[in-house]
Amino acid sequence: MKVGVDGRKLPGASTRSAVENLEAAAELGMDGVFFRTVLDVTPTLDRHVLKELRRRADELGLYLEMGLAKVNPYANAEAPEVRELGGGDYTAGMVRMMRACAEIDCRELWVGTANYKPGLPGYHVFDRFRTDASWSDQLAGIEKFLRVLRPVALDLGCHLNVETHEEITSFEVVRLVEAVGPDAIGITYDSANVVARGEDPVAAARRVAPYVRMSHVRDVALFRTDYGIGRMLAPCGEGVMDWPAILGALGEHRPGLRLSIENSRDRTIMPMHVYDPAWLAAHPDLTTTELAETFRLTHAYEDMAAAGERPTFDHLTGTPCDGPEQLRFISRTAAHLREILATDGEPDGEPDGEPGGDPDGESIRSAR
């Protein structure tokens, strides 16, 4: 496994060209760069720019990964640049992006399902709780759109890798892959996002592992709140995640997986309304076992913070996440992951169960 970085989250990324961000990543000792969308590299899909990026990545010995855009028809209006790229046709814009990426041999392609809305109250920050379009309708639309893109992905030899984003559960992502087909659809495992849905990050890693082809890696700090649990991002090794177990689960199925660090750029507290019956009802797959583990991890973090072994809530919220802190996040995460990989080699995971299942966990819905 190689350890790289999300190109959009590199400090100062927006002031540099894509090639300059590659060079900045190399200077930090990264093994590669995951550009969230090809439009971050060139909004016009300029082939000269893309070929130069590929050439420079190869010259530096860096991996190069690329992303596309959202695949949720109910959220696609939030990416007008894709529709404009397609001459008014969002699908055509996505296809143009896929072809451009394939031309520089970037065939593992990130896609997402919604955007986080930090200005909205409560759990309405997540599109999962929209009232104009139910989440089940959104999931159905996502599946239909992925089916539209599937023939193009097969023709290009690409995978559209759906991220375990903040609004979607790992169970739902697995079902999307299995419904549309793992020959064209895969998963981008984001370790911190699955926690936002109340899931145990190790169990989630085991669940998605057969289909994971890309990753975003970061740890979490968890705190009890009046509404349930608050999640903040932390460098790997400074949170509560069991990284040997996570890397073992992922490595069992994809030993060459690239681990791309997605560092924090602010002190956002992501809310988990685990005391709210409506929130619980919106997670029919969540088991009592995994929710209990999420509470255990929360208490574990608070205990370590009280003992001075982890930053406290007051310290995190009172300390700016500025450029130097972002660089420390990246270097600390890379060092921690590499130490585990060097100690364990390509870590061995425990045997995985059936994809998408947790045979020993009781459903939250059935338990109520």
Domain boundaries, the chain: 2-219+239-266+324-348
Q: Quick one: pLDDT at residue 268?
A: 94
DSSP characters over 86-143: TTT-HHHHHHHHHHHHHHTT--EEEEES----TTSSGGGGSGGG-SSS-HHHHHHHHH
Give the predicted TM-score (pTM) of the model.
0.93
Question: What is the longest distance spanned by two Cα atoms in the chain?
Answer: 58
Query: For residue range 229-239, what is the model confidence (pLDDT) as tens digits?
Result: 999 999 999 99
Superfamily of domain 2-219+239-266+324-348: Divalent-metal-dependent TIM barrel enzymes (3.20.20.150)
Backbone phi and psi for residue 341, each to the nearest 5 degrees, phi listed first? -65, -40
Per-residue model confidence (pLDDT) at position 344: 73
Angle of helix 170-180 relative to helix 135-156, nearest 10 degrees? 50
- Mean pLDDT (the chain, rounded): 93
Cα 81 versus chain centre, distance: 22
Best CA proximity match to 271, nearest among 212, 326, 196: 196
Distance CA 154, CA 151 (A): 5
**pLDDT above 60 (res 137):** yes
CA distance 326 to 322: 6
Cα separation, 339 vs 135, whole angstroms? 40
pLDDT tens column, 82-118 = 999 999 999 999 999 999 999 999 999 999 999 999 9
Question: Residue 351: pLDDT above 90?
Answer: no
Mean pLDDT, residues 336-355 taken together: 65
Residues near 296 by Cβ (< 8 Å), separated by ≥ 6?
Answer: none
Name 161's bridge partners. Answer: 110, 186
